[in-house]
Structures are given as structure tokens and as C-alpha cells.
Amino acid sequence: MLQYQINPESDVPIYRQLVDQISAQIRSGALKTGAQLPTVREMAERLHLSCGTIKHVYDTLQEMGDIEMTRRRGTFVKYVRRDTDSRKKQAMYAIDHMIRKLSDLNFSPAEIQIFLNLKMREWGLKWSGIRIAVVTDYPEAAGALNRQLSQIGNVQVNVYPISQLHDYPYHLDEQNDVILASVRDAQRLSMLLPNADKVIRVAFHTDPECVTQIAACSCKEVGVLCESDGFLRLVRSYLPQGCTPCRVDDPAQAPETVVYAEGDGRIDGFSGQRIPLSYQLDEGSMLYLEERISKIRDERQQWPGALRT
């Protein structure tokens, strides 16, 4: 039996964690069509979960079309990759089902048409919108990264600390079109994610002028306005010998010199020496990313099925 990892501390419901992991295995081919899954009781015992939770998982997977549950034979993987003709049939079936559902709610054909037009306009706005995930040890850099990547146009940027992805990496794959990470982190992500093709290895750099200012600090202690250990280590790597970094949450309680992530508004009331540290993609990585996103947009124009919700 394939292994599943459940994190009870996660904000994602337990049943959803299991649904996503099983579905990812089915759609990647790790669980083949026709393979039999354990019974509800067996799965509950193996994972130390309630039978009600596992039943909810199986019901959800069946609604998604991934499995089929039969009263006497058991539960089997049903998902099959279909060709273009069958996809058209599925589309017509889905439209018929939607229209019947709206008709059951007593909406007229004219009202249904209005709803369809409204939704198509919504989707049209999203058509070329690209969702970019940036995985980093320095979540404080989110502001600078957002500003830099927004220059591409019509993108949504989300920054994720690498430490938060080990227990539940699947939403990273589901909610984003491309995933940016350093070479080291990209290798780790490629082993965690169902679709490693989305991962793009990029190079990051810190602004040389900022690094020069940090390296020139002559005080014994420098405050670092941050929340992560990663950003604290980054600043420490640039400080001269004999200068110690200390993490601060409130600039009012900081030493006379503070290093902070560019764009951190908490520094506004600080009257001492401020040293902003900018952490962004290098020029070559930005050029490659723009080419990759342009290709994705071209593919979406040719294949509407690539559009994400």
C-alpha cells in the first residue's frame, strides 16, 4: 500500500489532505486504473482515523471520478485518461447536467444564458493570468519579489516558506502555474510535488549596495527586523566579524542600526540607521521566466482546457 502523510496541525482538513494525496497518486499513475483500495475500515485502522473520515474521503474521490465504490466488490480506481472525442462528450454531458440543475432551480433559459455570459466574462479576465509561487527561506522578501514579478503583467504572486511545504505540498501544485525555487529547493520540491514540471530553477541575488552597507557596520550589535531564521542567517552572513545580529519585532526596541527587508512598513517610525535588504531574481532568471510564461499563455489560447479556476 502506498504511504500517506497526515498532518493534524495543518489548516487543511484531514479528509482533504488524504483526498489530494490519493488523487495525485491516481492521476500520476502510481495507482493504476482497476487497482483496489483498502476497505473503509482497513484504511481507517492503518491511518488511525475514524471510519467516517475515510468514508468522506472515498465519497469525495468518487464524486471526482477517480474511484468507484461497489457494495460487494469493493473500491477500485476508475480514473482513465481520455482522448479528444471523449473529452467533447464529457463537456456536453457537463453542460447538460448544469442546465438541468439550473432548470430544477426554476431558472428560465434566458436567465441561464445571462449566468453563462457573466461567468464567461469572469473566466476571460483570468485567461492569461498566471499564478506564480516563490519558494524561499526568506518570506520577508515577499514585498520585493511581488514588485519585481508584477512587472511581467497580469500575474498573481504568492511567496511560500520552504519549511511549510513538507507536510502538505499538494496545494502548491494545485494553486499555481509555475513554481520558482533555488537549485537546492527545486531539487527538494521535485521529489515532493505530483507535477515537478512546474518547478523552475532560478537564481536570486541581494542588492550589492545593500550588502556593502551591511558589511560596513561598525557597531557591535545590529537589529534585524524579521520573523524567520533564514533572513536572520542571511544578514549574519554579510556582517563583519565582531558585529552580532539580533532579531527584533519592534523597531522601537532595536539598536541604533536596523537591517530590514525592503518594503517592510514596520521600519517607518525608526529614527536610527536603516539598511534595506533587497532579495530578488537575477536578470537571467527573469528573462527565462518571462519566456516560460509567454509560452503558457500561448498554449492557453490554443487549448482552453488549460485554463485554471
- Going from N- to C-terminal start, the domains of the chain cover 14-77, 84-126, 130-203+300-306, 208-277
Same fold, 14-77 and 130-203+300-306: no
Return the pLDDT at 239: 94
pLDDT value of residue 124 = 60
Please determine, for residue 301, whether its predicted confidence score (pLDDT) is greater than 70: no
**pLDDT value at residue 80:** 65
Question: Higher-confidence residue: 74 or 173?
Answer: 74
Question: What pLDDT does residue 153 have?
Answer: 83
Measured distance CA(164)–CA(199) in Å, rounded: 17
Q: Which contacts of 59-68 are long-range, i.e. CB under 8 A and separated by 24 or more positions? A: 60/15, 60/19, 61/19, 61/22, 61/23, 61/26, 64/19, 64/23, 66/22, 66/23, 66/26, 66/27, 67/26, 67/37
pTM over the 0.85 mark: no
Provide the pLDDT confidence category of residue 126 given band limits of 50, 70 and 90.
low
pLDDT at 309 over 50: no
- Look up residue 163 and give its DSSP letter: G
pLDDT at 56: 92
Position 32 confidence tier, pLDDT thresholds 50, 70, 90: confident
Predicted confidence band at 223 (pLDDT cuts at 50, 70, 90)? very high
* Least reliable range by pLDDT among 28-42, 86-100, 104-118, 258-272: 86-100
Q: What is the mean pLDDT of residues 258-284?
A: 90
Over residues 254-272, mean pLDDT = 88
268: amino acid identity, one letter: D
Percent of the chain residues past pLDDT 90, beyond the cut = 39
Q: State residue 189's pLDDT score.
A: 84
Whether the Cβ atoms of residue 231 and residue 140 lie closer than 8 Å to each other:
yes
Residue 84 has pLDDT above 70, yes or no: no
First to last CA, the chain: 32
Which burial class, exposed, middle or buried, applies to 220 when counting CB atoms under 10 A from its CB (0-12, 13-18, 19+)? exposed
Question: pLDDT at position 101, please?
Answer: 82
Topology, domain 130-203+300-306: Rossmann fold (3.40.50)
Asked if residue 156 lies in contact with residue 175, where contact means CB atoms within 8 angstroms, the answer is no
- Asked if the model's pLDDT at residue 266 lies above 90, the reply is no
The domain defined by 14-77 folds into Arc Repressor Mutant, subunit A (1.10.10)
Q: What's the confidence (pLDDT) of residue 123?
A: 64
75 pLDDT tier (thresholds 50, 70, 90): very high
pLDDT at 127: 56
Q: Which three cell numbers stand for residue 306?
A: 488549460
- What is the model's pLDDT at position 211? 94
Cα–Cα nearest to 162, from 187, 135, 191 = 135
Q: Provide the pLDDT for residue 306.
A: 46
Cα–Cα nearest to 285, from 137, 126, 129, 152 = 152
**Percent of the chain surpassing pLDDT 70:** 90
Mean pLDDT computed over every residue of the chain? 85
Whether residue 188 is predicted with pLDDT greater than 70 in this model: the reply is yes
191 pLDDT band, cuts 50/70/90, is: confident
Whole-number pLDDT of residue 29: 81
